[in-house]
Structure formats: C-alpha cells, structure tokens
Structure 1
Amino acid sequence: MTTEEKEPQAKGPLVYRQSVWTRVTHWVWAICLFFLLLSGLQIFNAHPALYIGQQSGFEFENAVLEIGAVNTPEGPRGRTTVFGQTFDTTGVLGMSGTAEAPQFVGFPGAVTIPSFRDLATGRVVHFFFGWVLVAALFVWFLASFINGHLRRDIVPKGSDISGLPKDAVDHARLRLHHGRSYTPLQKLSYFAVFFVLFPLIILTGLTMSPGMDAAWPWLLDVFGGRQTARTIHFGVMVLLVLFFIVHIIMVLLAGPLNELRSMITGWYRTSPGTPAEAGDKP
C-alpha cells in the first residue's frame, strides 16, 4: 500500500450552515410547491389554453398555448399548439390514457390533484397551499432578515458578480466547492427565486382573483390583463419546475447525504482546507 492509501481522506470541518427557520420553511415550500403544481394543472385543465391580453379570443386570435384533441382520419389525436407551431402530443398532452379508455384532457390525471376532473377540489387545494406558501415565505424573510441569512447568503455582492463566470465554469466541470456560504451561482439563483419568481407567481395568482382585482385594480394594469397574468403564472411555474430539477441534480452531484444533513440538522461538511472557526465540529 502507498502512503496515500494508508492516510485517511482529509475532511473539512462541520459548520452550522442552516438555521432552524431555513430548514423548516424549506420543507414547507417543498410540500406546498408539490401540491400547488399538481392542483394547478387540474385548474389549467378546465381551460387548457393561455392568452395574452385582457380576455381570451373569440373573433380574434391571441392564444400562445393551446392543448386539446382533434379528429383525424386515423382517429382522435392529442395536439399542442405553441406560438402557432402545432405538435402531435398524443399519449402525453391533449389525449392520454389507453386506446380502450382515452382521456381527453390537457394534462393526464397522473399529474393532477385530484386525478379525475374536479375543478372545485383542485381550487380548494391550490388556494390552501398557496396561502401556506405565502405564510412560510413571510416567516423566512423575517427570520432571515433578523439573523443575517438574507444579507449574508442570498443578496449578491460585487464579489459574487465578479466571481460568477468562474463559478459557472466550475459547476459545468462538476468542480463543486463546499464552503461556509453559498457560491455566486447559488446566490444569484436563490435571489432570482425569492425576489423574482415567488413574488411574480403570487402577484399573478392574485391578479386572477376577481375579488383582488376589485380591491387592487392596479394589478390588471401591471400585468396587462387577467389572461396575461395567467400566462405569466404558468410560465413562472415552468421556471420553478426547471429550478427544482436542476436543484435536485446538483444535490445528487454535490453529495446527497451532506446536503440532506444540512437541511435536517443544520450541520454541513465543508471541503478540505476550509479554516475552522469557533463552534465548528471536526
């Protein structure tokens, strides 16, 4: 055996990286977004199309997305139209299920809550978890402002902007660093989620409510109408799903046990060579 094989692999210190407020709200968001996504697709299926403007078109065409089924010489087929480009999506969108029992819905029941057509229940589930999400965000913002997490780990600084190209290259090469704080790419990603995507999806959701439009009519002006708000709401949902997929991939690549320990206990194993500080564990 060589000397390197005999020596144990060096480890960085365990640092207390995530407060209890961050950990609890993180898991609340994960649960909320799961139910919001699936119940939102149930609501979308009631009218599987998106428009730009104050209203959906009847004597004019303002749709940017349409999902449905059409009759063809070969039988019914699922069809999705995006910005005028039509795609056959049979088996996934517009028409799913089996040949003996086809389902003519936008999204199949496997990805909706409830799994059958029930708009009322879908709305109840969606609104409930929507308000839980808002409450958790308020708690997180307040706690993170008080304990410095917001300033220290979320809001990008000048050094984060200048260090972004190198950090992006390191991520692309899977050279992942485990430090005391987030990397520039992580900071910018989380900043975009908390200060752009979450506010957008909440405000566009409120814009689709007639009651909120009566109380805050300026929402319709800000987002260019209820139909435009619905389209933005759907688009932000897609971006959040993409963020979640990338987030899970990075957790797996960075070491899932270490990442999960951080979000369960708060303690995070840093890379070898990280300077130890008071309160760290070996």
Structure 2
Amino acid sequence: MFTLLPNQNSPRWWYHPEMADANKLRHHYVVRLTHWLTVLCFFALLVSGIEILISHPRFYWGEAGNAAMQPLFVIPIPASRATVPTGYNFVLPDQNGWSRFLHFQAAWAVVFVGLIYLVGGLVTRHFRRNLLPAGGDIPRFQWPTEAEGTSYNVLQRLTYLGVVFVAFPLILWTGLAMSPAIASVAPDAVILLGGQQSARTLHFVLTVLLVGFLVGHVAMVWLAGFRKRTRAMITGDSE
C-alpha cells in the first residue's frame, strides 16, 4: 500500500536517506536539481527579457500603451526602435525573434521545474521542515554563520515562501496576461490586473524584486560560507 510517510525500510522512489536523518544531507536531491534548473531558466528569462525590454523601455498602466502616450515611467536606456533611415547598413540591437522564443521556452521550462519542486516539496516535507517557521522562531532572529548556519532563520523562511508561493505565481500570471491568446480565452485574467499594459508593468516590477532577492540570496550564502553552502546545494552534504 502506498504511503507518503518516510520509512527507512521503504523502497518507494520518494524515500531518501535525508528523510531518515536530516543531519546527513543539507538538501534533498529534488531541491538541488530544481534549484540549478531554476537558475538556468531564470538567467535565460532575464537575458531574453532585457532584450525584449530594449525594444520599448516605456511602461504604462491600463490596456493600451504606445510611443504617443504618456508613460507611467521610462527606463533610461536608448530604445532600439528609434527613427532610422530606410536603407541603413547596421544591425539594430532589437532582436525580438530569438529573445521572445527563448523567453517563452524558458518560461514553460520553469513552470515544469516549479511543479516538480512543488510536488517534491510536499512529498519530502521540505516546506514544513525547512520553510515554514516554527512558533519559537518568530520572535528570534539569528544571523547565519559558517559554523551555525545549518538551517534558515525566520526571515529567510518567510522570504523563500514569498518567492515560491507569491512572486513566481504572480510573475507567471502577469506574463500570461500579456498574451493575446490568453486575453481571448481568459479575459478576466487580464482585467483583474488592470489591462495588458498593467500586466507588463507589474511583470517588470516583479522581475526587479526577484533580481533583488537573487542578490540578497547570494550575499547571504557568501556571508554564511560560500564554498560550504554551494557544495551543499550540489552534493547535498552538510559538512
């Protein structure tokens, strides 16, 4: 009979020694695999997203937005679609063909990876064990050190939960809302955001927040012992 409870004698595929002795492994193999796949997808999305942004670095609120309208804000970079002569002999940096293709492929890849992480996190109890703050953790804040940083403090746990269950779903929603196909099939998904241009603006803001999270995440890893923490995310070892 199938069970989701960890058992040292269980031959099931979801069992891992980590589930019997949490001190042997720092990270479950599902967490490690999805972590590095997400890193690859995120950088592909970031690079392709920047290329798409160069095409029109102006943001609006509502359904419509174009160069003749007053923007909500403008990114101070030169737009690639400036007025140029018809017969120019240079290549504009606007290459939306490959950037949009890569962006869409990486987006669906990260959705697939996210589903694996979600199922794996529930089955292995990763969320409850590593991300959900315990009652005694709430009033306490400890800075992780290389010697003591064997678990996430409450601020880290809440941040990771926010990224996984709030930021990523929202950035997926806003990305889909920019699609004409989604707008036709599920118009309410666009209306709730205030329009397609609103979705684009929110998508950009969420991207900035995720980049900020990435910088903070790497900084915390560095302060807590970069080599040890990186090795733990590759091999799973806590030592």
TM-score (norm 2): 0.80
Structure 1 segment 122-271 matched on structure 2, within 5 A: 122-163=99-140, 166-167=141-142, 170=143, 177-179=148-150, 181-269=151-239
Distance 1:116 1:46 in 2: 8
Partner of 1:94: 78
Change (3 A) 1:176 1:44: farther
Distance 1:121 1:49 in 2: 21
Shift of 1:57: 6.1
Distance 1:159 1:225 in 2: 43
Partner of 2:15: none
Shift of 1:177: 3.2
Partner of 1:49: 58
Shift of 1:183: 1.4
3-state DSSP of counterpart to 2:63: coil
Partner of 2:4: none
Distance 1:59 1:47 in 2: 12
Pick aligned residue for 1:64 from 49, 69, 72: 72
| Partners of 2:81 and 2:94 within 8 A in 1 | no
Shift of 1:247: 1.1
Partner of 1:38: 47
3-state DSSP of counterpart to 2:72: strand
Distance 1:15 1:51 in 2: 51
Shift of 1:252: 1.3
Unaligned runs of 5+ in 1: 1-12, 68-79, 81-92, 96-102, 106-114, 270-282
Q: Read off the aligned partner of 1:65 and give its amino acid letter.
A: F
Identity level (%): 35
| Partners of 1:204 and 1:230 within 8 A in 2 | yes
| Partners of 1:40 and 1:122 within 8 A in 2 | yes
Change (3 A) 1:229 1:160: farther
Task: Give per-residue Cα distances to partners, 1:232-271, cap 9 Å, x unaligned.
Answer: 10011111111111111111111111101210111113xx
Stretch deviating more after TM superposition (260-269 or 128-137): 260-269
Partner of 1:112: none
3-state DSSP of counterpart to 1:203: helix
Distance 1:215 1:104 in 2: 31
Partner of 1:5: none
Change (3 A) 1:52 1:253: same
Unaligned runs of 5+ in 2: 1-21, 83-91
| Partners of 2:59 and 2:200 within 8 A in 1 | yes
TM-score (norm 1): 0.68
Structure number with higher strand proportion: 1
Shift of 1:162: 2.5
Change (3 A) 1:117 1:56: closer
